[in-house]
Amino acid sequence: MGSMFKARRKSSMEMTEKKIQSLEDPRTKYPQPPFVKQPQAVPGLASKMDPVPDHGEKTYKGTGRLTGRRALITGGDSGIGRAAAIAYAREGADVVIGYLPQEQSDADEVLALIEEAGRNGFGISGDITSESFCVELVAGAVKKLGGIDILVNNAGHQQAVDSLADISSEGFDMTIKTNIYAPFWITKAALPHLEPGSVIISTSSVQPYDPSENLFDYAQTKAANVAFVKSLAKQLGPKGIRVNGVAPGPVWTPLQTSGGQPQNAIEEFGKATPLGRPGQPAELASIYVQLADNSGSYATGQIYGAAGGSGHP
């Protein structure tokens, strides 16, 4: 009896040691500033960033949580959308990603990863500031997947401008159309195809809660995304469709290096957070999975924060 107890105790200690060895310090898990200046033209490519972002290409392990599901993700070629696409495929979903034609090389990498996961992956390129393309995007996704039950409105436009006086009407219009009009058009087109149990997920930001002075227009659109989630959740809850959002803080994506931040801010990007670094897209993937999974069935109208210790949601 004594020897059996000792054996159990030893086994328990070994398991505890293994758990301790597997702990990861979040402060040093990923690259920390300073970073090099690296300006890119809009929309930017993940493949040209230094360091290249981690979207979970080598790290995300699926467990079949979304087997048989069908997802449409805008901005799925890079950044958070790419991380969600990889995770969804490895969880068993078929995925359509929307992206700009200039982002084709990044999109090709994502589609190859989806295929490697044994799922069907399709890309549809075009400009979501066009209502007609938004309708075509949804119709194309429905045709390729046989339907949609996960819609991720993730694509966004962000340009840092120090003064309101320097924001052009054209620039303001681009931000509004990309971040507000496009999710409206896409969601409206998708609604007839969403059955009870389907989910809509919007990528918002910490900006609605603590807006930066140089992101005047972007912050307003992200606040609109929060209202979109909370209002639509009330409208669609009685129909069995859940609507939630994610509010990232500073995340290392092409959105930032292609004008979303001034280049001097890129050098210290993420340093001001309690963790002292920017997030990587891979660190948000599990949130998008949880919000799409049937196990999250009581979560609707919620905004999930992921900002390294900053932000309010």
Domains, the chain:
64-306 (3.40.50.720)
Q: Can you give the pTM of this predicted structure?
A: 0.92
Tell me the backbone φ, ψ of residue 45, rounded to 5 degrees. Answer: -125, 135
Task: Round to whole Å and give the CA distance between 29 and 24.
Answer: 7
pLDDT for res 311:
85
pLDDT for res 18:
54
What tokens appear for 5 in the block?
């107890």
pLDDT for res 74:
98
What distance lies between CA 11 and its chain's CA centroid? 40
| Annotation says 218 is catalytic | yes
What tokens appear for 104 in the block?
């084709």
Local structure of 273: helix, strand or coil? coil
Instruction: Name, in order, each residue with C-beta under 8 angstroms of 272's C-beta and a sequence gap of 6 or more.
Output: 310
Contact 90, 60 (CB under 8 A): yes
**Along the 313 residues of the chain, how does pLDDT read in single tens digits?**
555 545 555 555 455 555 556 899 999 999 999 999 999 999 999 999 999 999 999 999 999 999 999 999 999 999 999 999 999 999 999 999 999 999 999 999 999 999 999 999 999 999 999 999 999 999 999 999 999 999 999 999 999 999 999 999 999 999 999 999 999 999 999 999 999 999 999 999 999 999 999 999 999 999 999 999 999 999 999 999 999 999 999 999 999 999 999 999 999 999 999 999 999 999 999 999 999 999 999 999 999 999 999 988 8
Local structure of 82: helix, strand or coil? helix
Q: How, if at all, do strands 303-306 and 150-153 pair?
A: unpaired
Instruction: Name, in order, each residue with C-beta under 8 angstroms of 147's C-beta and a sequence gap of 6 or more.
Output: 70, 193, 195
Cβ neighbours around 58 below 10 Å, total: 7
pLDDT for res 5:
47
Nearest CA among 303, 285, 266, 42 for reference residue 156: 42
pLDDT for res 272:
96
Contact 305, 247 (CB under 8 A): yes
pLDDT for res 6:
53
Cβ neighbours around 253 below 10 Å, total: 28
Set 30, 99, 209, 218: catalytic member: 218
Question: How far is the CA of 133 from the CAs of 113, 126, 187, 237, 281, in angstroms?
Answer: 25, 7, 13, 28, 27
Nearest CA among 126, 128, 226, 123 for reference residue 175: 128
pLDDT for res 312:
87
DSSP letter for 208, please.
T
- Going across the sheet that includes 303-306, the strands are 121-125, 94-99, 70-74, 150-153, 199-203, 242-248, 303-306
